[in-house]
Chains A and B, each alone.
Chain A
């Protein structure tokens, strides 16, 4: 299978995002990236959009729903949201959407900071493997993987998508 190149996806996403925001009359949204891959993608997007606003960083470790099964392995960097959340329009960015649970955790965390005016979800890749009814508003590319395949985003510079095969399933 041929893997998409982020260098091509990012400009396409940027373009689509601008159109989406304009259609919704959203003027000056703040960008929030989900640590780690989402932050890389967000930075690349902000650069593409020539946007110099500060980026919010979310570490969702404390909001995951699998704590009672897999515990806490926090690749810890604290969340940093250098702006008010209440009444703010947000663009939430992640690298790969799979089950949707990470996004759910991110939304829960954001709401503990305040009540945003709106949240637009941007993902670099959608793997069509939803377990929750959460869908990105803007997607770079959709991929369908075999049972034993995973994708990983490497970065921050250059961004690249890698395919991994897991042997022991």
Chain B
């Protein structure tokens, strides 16, 4: 009786298809695979002369960024435009919230602009869920990153990179290295890898950067990078932020690089054909050596291209789910 039963997944419609894209948590393997397959098709679109398809023509996608980001914002913009949607970008961080407007009031104002879809980035974990719960249900909410919680499109583009260059997840060893504690990318990656059947997911960091309870999610924890990188097929390096030096988490960037940085020697511990990923922007000489970042096994630039295709896939599939739900609701109304 108590505690209450878990809510029906907020991001799925009555037929179990995506209507928001908030986190990879709870999405079935078949759905993640569908996103990857759809993205493959969109990659093909990106390779030809006219890089557009008319799927979202006449629709408006609104980038609502409460937290600044050039990279994520521009790839979402590009993705929406390639789907023939109209795009507006609102950097809310610089305007109303600093004037004391509540988040719900900002949302009401945005709703009045009649966009079909919001891509949201916010500094607080759970913000995308909150927005999806409090905005009119037929606006699709895409999570562009919320606090430490999730960055689902980044997770999916990392998975696409892995699938295209290393194949079947069930045969891979994947290592995620760096500031796991503060990383939404790490969390989304761990969930995606688990769902897609990766049997050996490794996180590598000093104890101060490892959150509690990871083992409960089927992840192998290493504090020794030389042990953790042995024979891995994929290395995902995370960005180390300057602020981590405060508060006793790390003594210096130099020591972090000496102990955990991806140098050529460390890369050699992995499988000879291992690939290197990084969500960007990279800190050369802090988490990754310049030579490694630029070597042929580095997928960092490919990730950007795949990111556009993944975001096109997510935007289309979510819009599709919203349309389907609208249809279902109309049918329900008629039968009453």
Which residues of A are in contact with B by a Cβ distance under 8 Å? Answer: 59, 61-63, 67-74, 76-80, 108-109, 112-114
Contact = CB atoms under 8 A, between A and B. Distances in A.
A165 B273 CA distance: 54
Given A74-B37, A78-B44, A108-B54, A113 B49 contact: yes
A73 B53 CA distance: 16
Contacts of A77: 41
A70 B327 contact: yes
A63 B53 contact: yes
Nearest to B324: A71
A79 B40 CA distance: 10
Nearest to A61: B41
Contacts of A61: 41
B41 A67 contact: no
Contacts, number: 60
Nearest to B84: A62
Given A67-B323, A71-B320, A78 B41 contact: yes
Nearest to B48: A113
B316 interface: yes
Contacts of A68: 323
A113 B50 contact: yes
B38 A72 contact: yes
Interface of B: 17, 34, 37-38, 40-41, 43-45, 48-50, 52-55, 316-317, 319-321, 323-324, 327
Contact of B49 (A70, A78, A114): A114
A78 B40 contact: yes
B48 A74 contact: no
Contacts of B38: 72, 74, 76
Given A76-B40, A112-B49, A113-B50, 10 more contacts: A61-B41, A62-B55, A69-B323, A70-B323, A70-B327, A72-B38, A78-B40, A78-B41, A80-B44, A113-B48
Contacts of B34: 76
Nearest to B17: A71
A62 B40 contact: no
Contact of A72 (B44, B50, B317): B317
- Among the interface residues A71, A78, A113, A114, which one has the most CB atoms of the partner chain B within 10 A? A71
B37 A112 contact: no
A28 B249 CA distance: 69
Nearest to B50: A112
25 contacts: A62-B41, A62-B45, A62-B53, A62-B54, A62-B55, A62-B316, A63-B54, A69-B323, A69-B327, A70-B323, A70-B324, A70-B327, A71-B17, A71-B321, A76-B34, A76-B37, A76-B38, A76-B40, A78-B43, A79-B44, A108-B54, A112-B49, A112-B50, A112-B52, A114-B49
